Amino acid sequence: MAPVAPVVAERAPEASGAASTSSEPTWVPPPASPSNTTVESTPRVRVRNEPAPEPIVTRATPPTAPEQEQPPAPPPTPPAEEPPLAPPPTPPAEEPPLAPPPTPPAEEQPPAPPTTPPAQEQPPAPPPTPPVQEQPPTPPPTPATEEQPPAPPAVSPTQAKINQATDARRAGDYREAIRLFEEILRENPNLPAGYIGIGETLLAQGDPEAAERSFRQAIAVSPTNFDANLGLGRALHRQNKLLDAVAAYHKALVIDQDSAVANMSMALAYLQLDNASGAIPFAERAVRLDAKNGPARVNLGVAYERLNRTEDAIVQYEKSLELIEPTPQILRNLLNAYASAKRFQEAANTADALVRLDPSSDNYERLGWAQFKLGDFTKSSAFYKKSTEIDPANWVSINGLAVNAINRWLLSGRQDRSAAADASSFFRRSLQLNPDQPKVVKLITSYGL
């Protein structure tokens, strides 16, 4: 006979407490786990190349001018005849001057060589290129000095005091923070930052009602102040005035629709109003605006899970665990989503991580349930037993022990009477803790336990 599925009695729903919002949005409960176990999960987390050699161009020798032809030598002059003697007493005439001796004929010059036609004039050769001296290696580039940011503008005395008060609030010195903010308001009663600072301090102190009054004063001075409207929404959210908080968040988003915090806060409020469809647009926008915001992804996962988009929810839960440290709430959400998708081995792995992080009775019950779904009844019973040892009144784990006992009895062919007795005992003990379990009563009567 096939094993009997675990009987999980329905728990009475727990009253949802006031939503806790802070400077970072808080978590909200996910859908009820497939085992009908109420697991509260609140979403929140050179070598230089030588130049080519220049060609050597020889300068042409200028041609030699041809020698001019010498004129022929004149013929030799015959000797002049001696004139006759003049008769005496005539005085002799003066002797004419002797003619110069004949010039010997000039030696015949050899014929001039034929004239060589002048060579065509060559273009002047370019000046020789001086050899390139080898350059030293180029030093590595010096990194550019980072540009220094401009000096911040001088802070006014009022802003300096606001910064001082804000630092005091962040350090937990709330009294000093409020004193400084009040001093600022005495000097400038129309400064919204003073009222906002007091409101934030009061929220940090856990007084959302007084914080609401301060934020409303800031809005009276500056109605379009984003921080004042967002702060008012958070103060109302803390008081569980969810519809009023939604209205305040809406005004803040009209002023700045790209605020991831405001979108995430709005999604959270809608989830707490059990309006997953209304939460989806704001949750998705928050993730688009700040993809590394782990809590925003958890909120989106919860909204998807409530709309039965289980695989989409698993993606968001898994991505959130890559961004923030795991918390019991996120692991429980992921475990329940794996269970809904019938991914029981992953559910068991997640439950194992969960009990190591938070070894509570409820978490051991989840681990026992996951092992039951994997068919390991021995491990399942061991984890259910561990759960009841931590909390003897955990009737869900007691039912798990009873169902495992029934399976042992049925697998023995109904011969293991001790298993049947154990099942009967566990069921009756569970009914004492929670009588409103009709399914348990039906099992007892159906099997004669």
**Amino acid making up residue 79:** P
Question: Which is more confidently placed, 84 or 271?
Answer: 271
Q: Please name which of 116, 123, 120 lies closest in space to residue 58, comparing C-alpha atoms.
A: 123
pLDDT for the residue numbered 147 = 65
Stronger pLDDT, 159 or 154, i.e. the higher one: 159
Whether domain 257-324 has CATH 3.40.50.300: no
CA distance 254 to 257: 6
Average confidence score pLDDT of the chain? 78
Closest CA to 347 of 374, 323, 322, 325: 374
Highest mean pLDDT among 159-163, 281-285, 438-442: 281-285
* Rounded alpha-carbon distances, angstroms, from residue 35 to 309, 344, 388: 18, 12, 17
Q: Where exactly are the structural domains of the chain?
A: 156-255, 257-324
Supply φ then ψ for residue 434, to 5 degrees: -145, 95
Q: How far apart are the first and last CA of the chain?
A: 17
Could you count the other beta carbons within 10 Å of the beta carbon of residue 176? 16
Tokens of 229: 């409207």
25: pLDDT strictly greater than 90: no
CA-CA distance, 31 to 40, in Å (whole number)?
9
Phi, psi for 281 (deg, rounded to 5)? -60, -40
Q: What is the DSSP letter of 263?
A: H
Instruction: For residues 438 and 433, give the distance between their C-alpha atoms in angstroms, rounded to a whole number.
Output: 13
CA 18 to each of CA 24, 244, 260, 430, 436: distance values in angstroms, whole numbers, following the listed order: 16, 14, 22, 31, 28
Distances (CA, A) of 9 to 71, 340, 366, 439: 151, 17, 14, 7
Question: Residue range 149-177: average pLDDT?
Answer: 86
Euclidean distance between CA atoms 50 and 27, whole angstroms: 73
- The whole-number average pLDDT for the span 86-99 is 46
Q: Does 257-324 match 156-255 at the fold level?
A: yes
CATH topology of domain 156-255: 1.25.40
